[in-house]
Structure 1
Amino acid sequence: MADTISVPVETPSGVRSVDVVHERLGSGEPLVLLHGIGHHLQAWDPVVGILAAERDVITVDLPGFGLSPALPDGISYDLRGVIPVLRALFEALGLDRPHVVGNSLGGLLALQLGHEKLVRSVTALSPGGFWTEAERRYAFAMLQGMRLGALSLSPRTVTRLARTAPGRAVLGGTIYARPGRRSPDAIAAETRALREATGFEATLAAGQRGVLFTHDITNIPVTIAWGTRDRILLRRQGVRAKKVIPAARLVRLPGCGHVPMNDDPALVARVILDTSR
């Protein structure tokens, strides 16, 4: 069941309170899961049960996405703004350097948390920050197109599309290699989450300022995994990531799209657990 926690974050104008929605399941070492732009914590539903058998799993709605409200004035949606929120969240939940997993935007955040030594391992699934400028523009155009599509479709139309496999391909084919595997309720809910994401434009604008991840990460395990059918962040970016973080394990996810948890839950869960061991 989702819970909301308010965390204090220092800003130049004083301490601000940020509300973060999260769910927690299982027992063992803590494992935090961070979704991508426009998504919500339910993106991890296909793998949560597998992971919770061995880990204390915390799924998070990032600020401005899912049920988490927008960031207050004075806190930006770039790494400098969001990382302190996550650090405060870890402290409020009593998490001492958890393992962290992120997809897309969440993968970039996970890598930054690793760079700042706030976590004990990092698994990044198709993380942002390893693109050329042309690849970034292409990816952002795809994301903006998805957002405009979600805004233009009525809830009734989304529900009707989600009931059929071709309709789910229309709604989720950009991020999933196998959108037909997503349940009608799940695909409708994530389309709604994309439509209602108050942090979408600000997050995209922050990324348009040329965000690149250029830091090596040492002394903690790092896995970077990429779906072979990722249509948003092309898999050659994984090779660049390996050059930036030479000790990282680079894993190929055959037949998976940009959000691989739904395409092959067993494989993705195994990659995550192998890293966190």
Structure 2
Amino acid sequence: MLSELAYTRKGSGEPLVLIHGIGHRRQAWNPVLDLLAQSHDVIAVDLAGFGESPAYPASASYDMDHACQNLSDNFAAWGIDRPHVAGNSLGGAIALELGARGLARSVTALSPAGFFGTLNRIQTLGLLVMLRLTSQLPDRALRTLSRSAVGRRLAGFSLYTHPERFTADEVYGDALALKRCTGFERTIAKGGNYAFRLHLDVPTTIAWGTRDLILPYSSSAIAQERLPEADHVALPHCGHVPMVDDPDLVARVIQNTTARTQEPVAAA
């Protein structure tokens, strides 16, 4: 059954779907949305149970099979077939899965999940759980923290190199999104041992922030070993969510990947 996903759509050209990470929302892509919309029909989506999208039914699993099938069903509802996809963190892993399953035309994965070392996995899960617990503060406390420069840095230092670029309203909105999301624990429970080990036959780029604290840059070596067919790119001075730290570079990396295929895209 189709779980309808909330989305923002902008621009024209070949379709490009943007997929956020765990606990985040589609607004994570705002810094690059206008840049990408100059050349693509861009759709930034809220995954099920995050942002404004409802959670899957209790009977549905938060695994890759269900995520990819539901996104494919939403592609059809949006009138697109095999779009380009770009994802960050959990969204990067989903983007790679879509590409491996023949559901995407090209893939750009920014610090994707699924390439953990043993210690990295513990570090990643620990930081994510800490962020989730911190978001459970009363709304008034979250609002107060978001109005403080120190509070904004504390809220964002593990995700961005430049958390100071966020406004108080943006930080507060992200905090509420993390606090109220209904898919967090089900995603962690299902994906805690996830590893990506498939092959891709579509143009693929894996780009990693060199200052990523959630999924450390050292994980990129594992990605290079498992996916030698992909292009591997370092994002200098970028954290885990690089769209904020260097939007021009991230947009360029995505556009360079989509440009590597010229196959016409048929409407659904």
> Would you say the 8 A contact 1:25–1:58 is kept in 2?
yes
Taking the TM superposition and a 5 Å limit, the aligned residue runs for 1:183-194 are 183-194=167-178
Q: Give a deviation string over 1:17-44, Cα, whole Å, max 9, x none.
A: 4121111000000000000000000000
TM-score by length of 1: 0.91
Q: Does 1:205 align with 2:166?
A: no
Higher relative contact order (CA 8 A, sep 6+): 2
State whether residues 4 and 74 of structure 2, in contact with CA within 8 Å, keep that contact through their aligned partners in structure 1.
Answer: no
Secondary structure of the equivalent of 1:57?
Answer: strand
Q: Distance between the aligned counterparts of 2:168 and 2:15, measured in 1? A: 31
More strand by share: 1
Pick from 153, 159, 164: which aligns with 1:169? 153
The one of 180, 190, 197 aligned to 1:214: 197
The CA deviation string for residues 141-187 of structure 1, in whole angstroms up to 9 with x for no partner, is 10000000001x22222222222321111111111111001122111
1:115 aligns with 2:100: yes
Asked if structure 1 preserves the Cα contact closer than 8 Å seen for 2:50 and 2:183, the reply is yes
Query: Cα RMSD over matched residues?
Result: 1.0
Any gaps of 5 or more consecutive residues in structure 2? 260-268
Whole-Å separation in 1 of the counterparts to 2:45 and 2:170: 17
Q: State how 1:1-277 maps to structure 2 within 5 Å.
A: 16-151=1-136, 153-208=137-192, 210-218=193-201, 220-277=202-259
Secondary structure of residue in 2 paired with 1:238 = helix
User: Structure 1 stretches (4+) deviating beyond 3 angstroms?
Assistant: none
The amino acid across from 2:194 in the alignment is V
Q: Percent identity at matched positions?
A: 49
Which of 107-116 and 135-144 deviates more? 135-144
Larger mean CA deviation between 163-172 and 189-198 belongs to 163-172
Distance 1:263 1:185 in 2: 18
SS of equivalent residue, structure 1 residue 239: helix
Contact 2:212 2:238 (8 Å CA) reproduced = yes
Q: Match for 1:140: what amino acid?
A: L
| Structure 1 gaps, min length 5 | 1-15
Deviation, 1:134, is 2.5
Asked if structure 2 preserves the Cα contact closer than 8 Å seen for 1:25 and 1:56, the reply is yes
Q: CA deviation at 1:224?
A: 0.3
8 Å CA contact 2:88, 2:111 repeated in 1? yes
CA distance in 2, matches of 1:81, 1:137: 25
Deviation at 1:243, TM superposition (A): 1.5
Deviation at 1:80, TM superposition (A): 1.7
Between the aligned partners of 1:94 and 1:232, the Cα distance in structure 2 is 35
What SS does the aligned partner of 1:203 have? helix
Please give the per-residue CA displacement for 1:37-77, whole angstroms capped at 9, x wherever unaligned.
00000000000011001100000000000010110132211
Q: Residue in 2 aligned with 1:13?
A: none
